[in-house]
Amino acid sequence: MTTQSPNLSSILLGGGCFWCVEAVFTGLRGIISAEPGYAGGSVDHPSYEEVCTGRTGHAEVVKVVFDPAEIGLEDVLRVFFTTHDPTQLNRQGNDVGTQYRSVIFADATQQETARKVRDEIAAEGIWADPIVTRIEGPVHFWPAEEKHHDYFARNPQTAYCAAVVAPKVAKARKLYRDRLKQPD
């Protein structure tokens, strides 16, 4: 899934609530953008409310656009597999439903890399339970409504952000401090 620039790549990552995934990736060097949206379902132009019912088949995902010269796909995937719980089927913590499934939508080459990184993470024993992340082919990405973009940055004090998003961001900053963007 290459973007317009031949030097950039993109991949769709679903790791529960897209506010968490977006907030984790936004802070990393080499990440050009992390856009929340929906993928993998049967309804065109789904709304957040429709996706939340679990009846559209979509997962909340983030389209991560990255510069492989600064952060490789393996590193992007390692961040993904270590900052959400890839052992939970159709949920992340208290967020339950297929819309919160752990999933990667990618082209064939990216799928091969994703399987390799998944297997490495499993062998390292980071997670006690088996990884259940689905690795699937390319699908249409539907951008989320504007109110969901940069949600954590704009709403850090909301109960959900403080209790769920902030700990994931803190974990990512601790694990990947050498990859953090430098303040302007």
* 52 annotated active-site: no
**Residue 132, CA atoms < 13 Å, CB-side half-sphere:** 14
**Location of structure tokens 């993470």:** 121
Instruction: Name the burial class of residue 160, with classes exposed (0-12), middle (13-18) and buried (19+) by CB atoms within 10 angstroms of its CB.
Output: middle
CA 119 to chain CA mean position, Å:
18
Q: What pLDDT sits at residue 87?
A: 96
DSSP reduced 3-state for 76:
helix
Instruction: Name the burial class of residue 183, with classes exposed (0-12), middle (13-18) and buried (19+) by CB atoms within 10 angstroms of its CB.
Output: exposed
pLDDT digits over 25-57, tens only?
999 999 999 999 999 999 999 999 999 999 999
Q: What pLDDT sits at residue 3?
A: 44
Q: With beta carbons less than 8 A apart as the criterion, state whether 39 and 14 touch.
A: yes
Q: Considering 17, 20, 52, 161, which one is annotated as catalytic?
A: 17
Q: What pLDDT sits at residue 5?
A: 56
Tell me the pLDDT band of 182, cut-offs 50, 70 and 90. confident
Q: What percent of the chain has pLDDT over 70?
A: 96
Helix axes 18-26, 166-175, angle to 10 degrees: 30
Q: Give yes or no for residue 73 having a pLDDT over 50.
A: yes
In the chain, the N- to C-terminal Cα span, in Å, equals 30
